[in-house]
């Protein structure tokens, strides 16, 4: 059990909006072991981006605990939190807007090292920057270039180098390849896997792309409207998805094959509002298998088979 690096318990993030309370993340819990990758999948409005930010305290969680390496993150003060940040980093989705356009690559990668005062000597620091650039596959001649001179793939590599600069233990990757071309995506994903192996990193991989998360994760969490509705390792999840939403999600992915095309399960209706949600199954209005109980009670997350958790009334009944 001491292998667990991150323990998220009943994490909630609510926003106050004119119409009431917006439940962006509504009581999510999971454990993440050291060296593993957790994939968080869902569509827009499911809360996957918010939960990433909440774990890093870039937005303040409304309630719940985030225990990282034994330390309860939301309870730290400003000073302690800044120190803690060295261990937990974030790779952003948009390689265009996540880099300061007025700073060269070197300045961007160097900044975290300077802020943490890790290497006071400028020459040694510079060598560390070159080492990082080498790790992520950026040529040395790019040392003085600005982000706008480079393409998306290279910019994302800068983002990765910046995240690695402080030697973190844990990195949250928020849709790191969604904005890139297909042929470049594979390059970046392979790079991230390689770095994980070499540095013993732990990842949370947030994406809406199921094919990518299959390739990349050890365990997958499916979110819908702020709640965790299914959790299982990729082999189990893809072979035997239990929650109707997961089933629909998987079948909705366009398959690049013309033979043996899977049956398409289409959802009806639209996603309900995350503002002041009722304590019922939030997926009920779109579910093809909805029972009366689904509109009355909220289902809890239960372990249906080893390592496979689902929050669904139908599955409980077996």
Partner 1 sequence: MEIKKINEQENTLEIKNLVIHYISDEEVVKAVNGVNIIIKAGKTLGLVGETGAGKTTTALSILNLVPEPQGKILSGEVLLQGRSVLSMSERELEVMRGDKVAMIFQDPMTSLNPVHTVGRQIAESIEIHRKVSKQQALKQAKEMLELVGIPSERSNEYPYQFSGGMKQRVDIAIALACSPDLLIADEPTTALDVTIQAQVLKLINELRQEYHMSMLMITHDLGIVAEVCDEVSIAYAGRIIEHGTLEDIFDHMRHPYTKGLFNALPDIGVKRSELKPIKGLMPDPTNLPSGCPFHPRCDYVMEVCSQSLPENKWLSETHCVECHLYKDTNESML
Partner 2 sequence: MDETVQKYTTRKGFFKQYKKKSRLQETWNRFLRNKLAVIGLFIFVFIILAAVAAPLIANYDTDAIRVNVPSRLQSPSAKHIFGTDELGRDIMARIVHGARISLVVGCAAIAVALFIGGALGAIAGYSGGKIDDVIMRCMDVFLCLPDVLLALAIVAAFGTNLVNLTIAIGLAFTPKFSRVVRSAVMTVRGVEYVEAARTIGATNTQIITNHVLINCFGPIMVQVTLYVASAILTIAAMSFIGLGIQAPIPEWGNMLASGRVYMRDHAYIVMAPGLAIFLTILSLNLLGDGLRDALDPRLK
Q: Which of 21, 67, 143, 293 binds partner 2 (CB under 8 A)?
A: 143
Q: Considering only 29-37, 126-134, 192-200, 306-314, which stretch makes contact with partner 2 by CB under 8 A?
A: 126-134
Q: Which of 4, 21, 76, 116 binds partner 2 (CB under 8 A)?
A: 116
The answer to whether residue 184 forms part of the interface with partner 1 (CB under 8 A) is yes
Q: Which of 120, 256, 279, 318 binds partner 1 (CB under 8 A)?
A: 256
Q: Give me the least distance between CB of 27 and partner 2, in Å please.
A: 25
d(CA 270, CA 282): 11
Q: Give me the least distance between CB of 123 and partner 2, in Å please.
A: 5
75 interacts with, out of partner 1, partner 2, none, CB within 5 to 8 A per kind: none
| Binding residues for partner 2 restricted to 59-88, rule: CB under 8 A | 82-83, 85-86
Q: Considering only 31-39, 47-55, 86-94, 233-241, which stretch makes contact with partner 1 by CB under 8 A?
A: 233-241
Q: What secondary structure does DSSP assign to 189-251, as a single string?
A: HHHHHHHHHHHT-EEEEEES-HHHHHHH-SEEEEEETTEEEEEE-HHHHHH---SHHHHHHHH
Q: Is 27 helix (H, G, I), strand (E, B) or coil?
A: strand
The answer to whether residue 190 forms part of the interface with partner 1 (CB under 8 A) is yes
Q: Is 302 helix (H, G, I), strand (E, B) or coil?
A: strand
The answer to whether residue 255 forms part of the interface with partner 1 (CB under 8 A) is yes
> Judged by CB under 8 A, how many residues of this single chain contact partner 1?
43
Query: What is the enclosing helix (H) or strand (E) of 316?
Result: helix 313-317
The answer to whether residue 181 forms part of the interface with partner 1 (CB under 8 A) is yes
Q: Considering only 31-39, 130-138, 261-269, 288-296, which stretch makes contact with partner 2 by CB under 8 A?
A: 130-138
Please tell me the number of Cα atoms within 13 Å of 90 on its side-chain side: 20
Q: Give me the least distance between CB of 6 and partner 2, in Å please.
A: 16
d(CA 162, CA 113): 9
Residues in CB range of 253: below 8 A, 6 or more apart: 210, 211
Residue 233 · residue 213 · CB < 8 Å: no
Please tell me the number of Cα atoms within 13 Å of 124 on its side-chain side: 7
> Going residue by residue from 153 to 172, which x/- string records binding to partner 2, judged by CB under 8 A?
------x--x--xx------
Residue 264 · residue 252 · CB < 8 Å: yes
Residue 55 · residue 72 · CB < 8 Å: no
Q: Which of 16, 19, 141, 259 binds partner 2 (CB under 8 A)?
A: 141
The answer to whether residue 185 forms part of the interface with partner 1 (CB under 8 A) is yes
Classify residue 55 by burial, with Cβ atoms within 10 Å: 0-12, 13-18, 19+: buried
The answer to whether residue 92 forms part of the interface with partner 2 (CB under 8 A) is yes
For CA atoms 255, 246, 185, 199, the dihedral sign is: negative
Binding site for partner 1 (CB under 8 A): 43-44, 151-154, 181-187, 189-190, 193, 208, 210-212, 214-215, 234-235, 238, 248-259, 261, 264, 266-267, 270-271
Binding site for partner 2 (CB under 8 A): 56, 58, 82-83, 85-86, 89-90, 92, 94, 96-102, 104, 111-112, 115-116, 122-123, 126-127, 130-131, 134, 140-141, 143-146, 148-149, 159, 162, 165-166
């Amino acid at each position: 059990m001491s292998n667990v690096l991150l323990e998220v318990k009943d994490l909630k993030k609510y926003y106050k909006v004119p119409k009431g309370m917006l439940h962006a993340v509504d009581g999510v819990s999971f454990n993440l072991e050291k060296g593993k990758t957790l994939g968080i999948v869902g569509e827009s409005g499911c809360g996957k981006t918010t939960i990433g930010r909440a774990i890093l305290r870039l937005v303040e969680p409304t309630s719940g605990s985030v225990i990282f390496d034994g330390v309860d993150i939301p309870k730290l003060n400003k000073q302690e939190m800044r120190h803690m940040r060295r261990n937990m980093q974030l790779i952003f989705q948009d390689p265009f807007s996540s880099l300061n356009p007025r700073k060269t690559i070197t300045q961007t990668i160097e900044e975290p090292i300077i802020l943490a005062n890790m290497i006071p000597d400028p020459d040694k620091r510079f060598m560390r920057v070159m080492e990082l650039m080498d790790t992520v596959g950026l040529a040395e001649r790019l040392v003085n270039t600005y982000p706008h001179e480079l393409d998306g793939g290279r910019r994302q590599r800068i983002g990765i180098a910046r995240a690695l600069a402080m030697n973190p233990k844990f990195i949250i990757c928020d849709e790191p390849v969604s904005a890139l071309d297909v042929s470049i995506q594979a390059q970046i994903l392979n790079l991230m896997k390689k770095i994980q192996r070499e540095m013993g990193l732990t990842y949370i991989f947030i994406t809406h792309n199921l094919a990518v998360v299959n390739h990349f994760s050890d365990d997958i969490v499916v979110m819908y409207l702020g709640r965790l509705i299914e959790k299982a390792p990729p082999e189990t999840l893809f072979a035997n998805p239990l929650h109707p939403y997961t089933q629909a999600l998987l079948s909705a992915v366009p398959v690049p094959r013309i033979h043996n095309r899977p049956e398409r399960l289409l959802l009806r209706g639209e996603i309900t509002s995350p503002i002041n949600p009722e304590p019922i199954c939030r997926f009920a209005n779109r579910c093809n298998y909805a029972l009366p109980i689904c509109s009355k009670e909220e289902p809890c997350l239960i372990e249906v088979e080893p390592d496979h958790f689902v929050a669904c009334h139908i599955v409980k009944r077996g």
